[in-house]
Structure 1
């Protein structure tokens, strides 16, 4: 009987011997050691997308985010700035806020009632000596940046220094969509039964997009294809794309909207890709006929036919900005084989559900697509967990998967070399 068991190999050796152009070896996706390393080397050292500003509309509003052993409080302070703090009381370390979201006047630890302002300062602690210096015991801050209505944090003492440059390059693309004036239409959390890297890899290619019939009503199924690689079955769609792209560029230029692709996925610490391009059908939104899902546009656009502005950010997020709404996706590792995918739909703050938009119509395409992707990721996890699994080659259309994996392995190598 043939067996497939391989000799045990250390984590550092597996990282060092990663073969470009091939999927990762099984322990990267299945082992607790790699999961812990991913939190330490990637999620605790990179800039992470964690929320839209619209999730914190008023002073005192907060959201908590859990990343491995870390819990972080995001909240809007009295000056309406977004801040982030470790969710750890400075007295004896108790978890302060348990709920995923809410609103506070002050932040009060439920254990001994130490009380903090929304700026993190310790305001009150009972029965302490007169010479106790409260200024030394504020909540520990987490690096926070907002970019055109998106909130990013970094847990590292010294975050990657390239974020300012990345923010300056992507903000002109995103800002016209007015996310700071948006509100949350809905947010859906989905737990996928697979490793977080499988979730990200699945997002970085459209080789599998034939499994997304709802999405293919509006998304051209040729994403990632070079012209010479387009198969005959996709040639009609590719020709439609070329025509729509030419028409869209004229529109983008007339409105002063940047659209050219910038792709630096694995050449910097804060890897990203951004591009504005057309949608199929009516070309307005992610719906079953491509028409706008919300009658009130996100901004003062003169036409809803703006296609999609798509942004990919390493290691945990992707976004679609449309004329009528925006969708954010964040990925949070839960376990070696479990991953949270949080999807948030944003509409204009004055848009009224049932009048300007139907929530089911707004969310139908991506709810179905997320559910389909969850099944695909689970199947991938099951297969990789088999002793018969061996790394396989990436298709040319999966070049962004290779870029993601190369970025990831580069982060691990840098961390292990410390």
Structure 2
């Protein structure tokens, strides 16, 4: 049986070799899983939802992260709130996970009642001297960054989220994510550790062989290539692609659309990367034919040739295009199970069947997510095999995996492991 005698986490971290994948125990041990939840999902900023999850006053969305349950809601004054889903009486949860509509937060156990702002307004049988103001619901640190909701469960959230906020508010402004709607949502539970899910997303080494639908619009050369092993013809094509990238990026930025890569990775607390990517083929959107799925463009967009503004953090990846956006949230469920929640966004006034075709909108990333789930499950079975030992990353196509592993070890060390 695996992990009969778990190694101390610090000793496992010591085993990590630069340029290589992580030791098996970091993907399999239960104590590592609990430490990951504490370090990466409590003490760092994580992406949990969108303003458009709760478009109207009284709309609420509950998100569970480990043993923590959060309520994302829009209060009566139309303000976004994030509150702990825990009654201040005896701890009962108000709401089950998922979407709902409420006028007040009423504890189902003893009917303590709270405004949507979190203020306690009714606590029956507690006596005249009971101070309701001391028992308001606990708020959660959160930021709406271009309409994306990030939370931090720590009392001292990392301050370097300021760069993410500054960069993405500007880059997301033309898409007006705050005024979108969710056209479709799909939850997939991957049979793998959350770090395998994130590693799989940060490289396209596997794309050509595994993602035929995505590769219609995605360019795997964007993720690197080994010039020494390419034929002269393929090398010339790759070099030409890089030249086109520089030219396209320069032109986009001259037109007022920030496009160059911005990274805050190893050596920092908040981990993210963004860049405007070229879309292959017809060049408009990540659809089966690379043309736009929605005729009603996002926000103030008037062009379909502005590529794919990608953004990833340590528990998410996102693609923002002229006609729609795809956003994915990653939440660990156990050492070997991970929830991937994918949402497809369109302009709030877009009408299905009139402005967009739902199948065309969703086909590529439904297929890609299902394919990735199979790959992650295979990876998990591999790291659980006694024959597994950390292998070398390609310095050409997997450098971001090495960076992620380095950041992971750094952050674990910074929090006492």
What's the TM-score, normalizing by structure 1?
0.94
Which residue is equivalent to 2:297?
297
What does 1:12-411 correspond to in 2, within 5 Å? Answer: 12-210=10-208, 211-225=210-224, 228=227, 231-232=230-231, 235=235, 238=238, 241-242=241-242, 244-245=244-245, 248-249=248-249, 251-313=251-313, 315-396=314-395, 397-411=397-411
Deviation at 1:236, TM superposition (A): 7.3
Contact 1:244 1:278 in 2 (8 A): no
Deviation at 1:108, TM superposition (A): 0.8
Q: Distance in 1 between matches of 2:288 and 2:339?
A: 26
- Residue 330 of structure 1 aligns to a residue whose secondary structure is strand
Deviation string 1:257-311 (CA, Å, 9 cap, x unpaired) is 0001112222311111110121100111001221111111002323211110001
Deviation at 1:254, TM superposition (A): 4.6
Q: Which 10-residue stretch deviates more, 390-399 or 237-246?
A: 237-246
Contact 2:283 2:291 in 1 (8 A): yes
Distance 1:249-1:12 versus aligned 2 partners, 3 A rule = closer
Q: Distance in 2 between matches of 1:352 and 1:141?
A: 35
Q: Distance in 1 between matches of 2:256 and 2:394?
A: 36
Deviation at 1:251, TM superposition (A): 4.6
Distance 1:264-1:411 versus aligned 2 partners, 3 A rule = same
Distance 1:22-1:116 versus aligned 2 partners, 3 A rule = same
Query: What stretches of structure 1 move > 6 A for 4+ residues in a row?
Result: 4-7
Q: Which 10-residue stretch deviates more, 251-260 or 239-248?
A: 239-248
Distance 1:119-1:7 versus aligned 2 partners, 3 A rule = closer
Distance 1:90-1:230 versus aligned 2 partners, 3 A rule = farther
**Uncovered stretches (5+) of structure 1, i.e. residues with no partner:** none
Deviation at 1:141, TM superposition (A): 0.9
Deviation at 1:223, TM superposition (A): 2.5
Distance 1:5-1:189 versus aligned 2 partners, 3 A rule = closer
Distance 1:337-1:90 versus aligned 2 partners, 3 A rule = same
Aligned residues: 413
Deviation at 1:415, TM superposition (A): 1.1
Deviation at 1:252, TM superposition (A): 1.4
**Uncovered stretches (5+) of structure 2, i.e. residues with no partner:** none
Deviation at 1:166, TM superposition (A): 2.3
Q: Which 10-residue stretch deviates more, 367-376 or 69-78?
A: 69-78
Q: Distance in 1 between matches of 2:289 and 2:240?
A: 15
- Residue 228 of structure 1 aligns to a residue whose secondary structure is coil
